Amino acid sequence: MVGSSHEALHRIFQKDPELLTRALQRVLRVPFPRPREIAALNVDLTEAEPVERRVDTLLRAETDEGTYLLVVESQGKADERKRGSWPYYLSYLYEKYRCEPVLIVITQSSATAKWASRPIRLGFPGWHSLTVRPLVLGPDNVPVIADEKQAEADPTLAALSAMTHGRGPGAMAILESLASALRTIDSDSAAVFAQFVDSCLADPQAKQMWRDLMTAVQYFWRHPLAEQVREEGREQGRLQKQQEMTLNVLEWRGIPVPDAVRERVLACTDLDQLEVWAQRALHATDAAQLFADE
C-alpha cells in the first residue's frame, strides 16, 4: 500500500514507465527519443562503505539514439542537501552504467518546483566543473485534465494530473474525469491508480470526494484503502456509507437534493440499488434522475 504522496508521486512512473517519457515530451517539451524498451533498475546507490543513498525511482530507457537512465525524485519541499545528493546520484550512475542519466523532479508545490529547477553549479564562477539542471514536473506545467475524453485518452497522465492538482474548486471535475477514465482500463491497474491519487490528496474534502467516487465504481473495495471499512464488518455500515456517498456526490456536484430524494435514499436498505443510484449520481443533472426508469 502506498502510504504517502512522496511515494505515490514517483511510483506512478514505475506502474507506467512510458508516462515519464510522455511527460518529458508533452509537458516539458524535451525532445526525448521514443523508447523501444523501459526497465526498472535497483534504486540502491549505496557504496561498500556504510553510507546509504537511494533514489526514488530509477528506469532504464532503450532508444534508437542510445540508452538513458531516468532518475525520478519526488520532492515535497526545498532541501538544500539535494544540491549535493543529486550531482552525486548522476555521477555515480554514469560511472556504474556508462550511459546518460537524466534527473526528473516531481512535486505538488509550485514553490518547490521553482527551487528544484535552479541549476546546481559546482566550481568557481565562470568555470563550473559540474552543472546539474533538473527537469521538473509540477503544478505549473502538468496539464489540468478535467475532461472525460482527455482523461480516457491517457488515464495515467490523468492520474498524475489529479495527484498534482487535486485541490481547490476544480478538484471535482478533475477527479470525476479520472474516475470515468479508470473504468476504461483493467480493474487491478485502476485500483493502483486510485490508491496513488488518494495518497496525494491533502485536502480532506477532496480525499473524501475521491473515496466516494471510487466506492461508486467499486474500486475502493479492491485495494487496501478499504481495510478500515472491511474491518467494520457490518452490512449496516456499508449501507449507511453508500447512502451518504450517493447524497454527497450530488451535493459536491452542486445539484440540489430535495427532502423527498434524501428521505428515499436514506430509507433504502438494498445495497445493489444504492450502488445503481451512486453510479447515476456521477452524471445526473437533476436529483430525481437517480430514480429514472423505476
Position 133 scores a pLDDT of 95
pTM of the model: 0.68
Alpha carbon distance 134, 117 (integer Å): 6
Helices (H) then strands (E): counts for the chain: 13, 7
Q: What is the mean pLDDT of each run of 10 residues along the chain (294 residues)?
A: 74 84 86 85 67 80 92 92 91 92 94 95 84 94 94 94 82 91 88 88 85 70 51 60 83 85 87 84 85 75
Position 50 scores a pLDDT of 47
CB 211, CB 198: distance < 8 Å:
yes
Position 233 scores a pLDDT of 46
Render pLDDT for 222-233 as a digit per residue (tens, 0 to 9). 555 555 444 444
Position 224 scores a pLDDT of 54
Cell of 176: 470525476
Position 47 scores a pLDDT of 61
Position 160 scores a pLDDT of 94
Alpha carbon distance 143, 140 (integer Å): 8
DSSP labels for 35-104?
EEEEEE---B---SSS---B-SEEEEEEETTEEEEEEEEE-SS--TTHHHHHHHHHHHHHHHH-SEEEEE
Q: Which residues contact 28 (CB under 8 A, 6 or more apart)?
A: 135, 136, 137, 141
